Structure 1
Amino acid sequence: MDRTVNKGDSAAQATARHIEDLILEGSLRSGDLLLPEREMALRLDVSRPTLRQGLKMLEDKGLILTDANGVRRIARLATSITDPLIELMSSGGLVVGDYLELRGTLEGLAASLAATRANDIDRQTLSDCMARIDQAHDNGDAHAEAEADADLHLAVYEASHNIVLLQIMRALSGMLRQGVFHNREKLFARDEVRDVLLSQHRAIYTGVMARDPAAAARAAEDHMIYTKRVLSEIAAAEARLEISLRRIDGGNIAQRG
């Protein structure tokens, strides 16, 4: 259903505010292409000059970008936390554990809220994500399963209908997809782990769909605790392997007969 602008004293300001609301609530996402000016003005029931002024306000705020051909899109927002400190943090192994502790708290809260607030559209999105996880799991496609995993978690945050939680998660989700803190595909490369993760994702999904906030929160928190433990085990195993390899060739600086 099309939404129209609630006109106030300044139609351009009202137009800009309306688009800002769409961004905040997650209806407009980072990188989304906007409709051509004429069609957008019709959808919002404003004149093209008014729309142009409103879009200029958003461009000045860095919320909208316009390319050389006049094509407008939503700027890259909350897809990552761009700061030299993040790169420094991601290089430290201990930060992964802290990151997953934070995710555990946020995931539990989001799942609990989703269980009580999700509407029919949210529930269908969750069902679609779960179906993609099942299909990727059956196909043995670790990359597709990891992507569907990230989408399921994001869908839970959307279903929580908490704007601050959603925007924080979008930032963390962008970092997760880029492997800033850990490589998700390392998890899905291990068959026994993939089976456990499938069961855990289904428990989160079932708790939300059953409108059981306690079960949904518990499943989400258990999932993050397990993820943290397994990633720690993988990191320890990789460290031991590196030491063994160095012993074979003397750290690559010794002469071996």
Structure 2
Amino acid sequence: MSDTPIRPERTAEAVARHIETLILEGSLAPAEGLLPERDLAQRLNVSRPTLRHGLKLLQDRGLLVGEKGRGLRVAPLGQTAIADPLLALLSDHPEIEDDYFDFRDVVESHAAALAADRATGLDRDAIRAAMDRIEDAHAEARPKAEAEADAALHQVIYEASHNLVLLQIMRALSGTLRSNVAANRSRMFALPQMRERLRDQHRAIAAAILDGEADRARDAAHAHLCYVRKAARDLAEAEAHAETARRRQSGGGLGQRR
């Protein structure tokens, strides 16, 4: 064993690498605040000067940001780094939504299969908790809460896949396209017959993952995304027809109707 003492710089780099890992694996989420310095130093078992050095390394790398009086938090990763003008353009064009669902079908079907193979006990508990939220919101006829629980279930499935690239990309995309996705979910969960189908589909996905059946989980996720994609398309078409009918009634706001 070498008698060379560990330099504080090495310890600071180890602190930085540890926090980087937590960010990468999703344990620390974008925009999440860190513990106060005293508590963080105790938790990591390092001195406060060493901790400050490690945190400074992460700030220099753009992984942490700080605001006066609010402490440090994880940077809004993906929402700016991945969300360049191209994704902003996608977000501004609802007609792209069908392609987004096509992409989600490929990715989420695979994520469900991975989750069935890789989910830990804690992952399975998180999936059960997400399903409990869906069931409670459904029973209480709270569409907004049910839509939020839907999003939470998909998130825990990404996490249970233990594919860090998939997790971070889907987290970034959902943040970038959140307004469109949220609006779409709200429209669907406002319709009782759709709520029933979605609840049953979520049950099927969760049950397959919890039973550890990858092919069944993949098929259930694929069936769900196909349904959601078609439902979104039908809703958009119905809204377009309704808007056309309104314009005809008013002459497009330019004609004189007697």
Q: Same fold (TM over 0.5)?
A: yes
1:133 corresponds to which letter in structure 2? I
Distance 1:247 1:145, change over 3 A: same
Tell me the CA shift for residue 183 of structure 1: 2.4
Cα pair distance change 1:92/1:73, threshold 3 Å: closer
Deviates more, 1:174-183 or 1:80-89: 174-183
Alignment partner of 1:78 is 2:78: yes
The structure-2 alpha-carbon separation of the partners of 1:175 and 1:141, relative to structure 1 and needing over 3 Å to count, comes to farther
- Structure-2 residue corresponding to 1:61: 61
- Cα deviation, residue 182, structure 1: 5.1
Match of 2:116, as an amino acid? A
The one-letter amino acid of 2:208's match is: G
Quote how far apart the aligned CAs of 1:231 are: 0.6
Deviation at 1:30, TM superposition (A): 1.1
The residue that corresponds to 2:223 in the other structure is: 222
Kindly indicate whether the alpha-carbon contact (under 8 Å) linking 2:22 and 2:28 is maintained by their aligned counterparts in 1: yes
Q: CA deviation at 1:86?
A: 2.1
Instruction: Tell me how far apart the structure 1 counterparts of residues 169 and 184 of structure 2 sit (CA, whole Å).
Output: 20
CA distance in 2, matches of 1:32, 1:45: 21
Structure 1 runs of 4+ with >4 Å offset: 6-9
| SS of alignment partner, residue 140 of structure 1 | coil
Render the CA deviation track for 1:76-130: whole Å, top value 9, x for unaligned.
Answer: 1234743222232233343111100110011111100100111110000000000
Query: Please, what TM-score do these two structures have when normalized by structure 2?
Result: 0.92
Q: Which residue of 2 aligns with 1:45?
A: 45
Q: Return the offset for 1:70.
A: 5.8
After superposition, what is the alpha-carbon deviation per residue over 1:32-68, rounded to whole angstroms, capped at 9, x for unaligned? 2111112211111111111100100111111111221
Match of 1:239 in 2: 240
Q: 1:136 aligns to what?
A: 137
| Alignment-derived partner of residue 13 in structure 2 | 13
Q: Say if 1:200 and 1:154 are closer, same or farther in 2 by CA, change over 3 A.
A: same
SS of the aligned residue for 2:73 comes to strand
**Structure 2 equivalent of residue 249 of structure 1:** 250
Residue type of the alignment partner of 1:157: Y
2:86 aligned counterpart, secondary structure: helix
- 8 Å contact from structure 1 (residues 187, 194) kept in 2: yes
Q: How does 1:83-102 map to 2 (within 5 A)?
A: 83-102=84-103
Q: What do you get for the CA RMSD once the two structures are aligned?
A: 1.9
Equivalent in the alignment of 1:208: 209
Indicate the larger mover: 27-36 or 99-108.
27-36
Does the residue aligned with 2:209 lie in a helix, a strand or coil?
helix
Give the conservation status (yes or no) of the 8 Å contact 1:250–1:256: yes
Distance in 2 of aligned mates of 1:60 and 1:47:
20
* Cα distance change of structure 1 residues 90 and 71 upon mapping to structure 2, 3 Å threshold: closer
- Residue 232 of structure 1 aligns to a residue in which SS? helix
Deviation (angstroms), 1:201 = 0.4
CA contact 1:79–1:173 (8 Å) conserved in 2: no
Structure 2: distance between partners of 1:181 and 1:37: 36
Paired AA for residue 119 in structure 2? A
TM-score, scaled relative to structure 1:
0.93
In the TM superposition, 1:173-192 aligns within 5 A as 173-179=174-180, 183-192=184-193
Q: How far did 1:27 drift?
A: 0.9
Work out whether 1:32 is the aligned partner of 2:32.
yes
Q: Secondary structure at the match of 1:195?
A: helix
The reply on whether 1:153 has 2:154 as its aligned counterpart is: yes
Deviations 1:10-31 (A, max 9, x none): 1111111111011001111112
Q: Name the count of aligned residue pairs.
A: 252
Structure 1 position 228, deviation (Å): 0.6
Identical aligned residues as a percent: 47
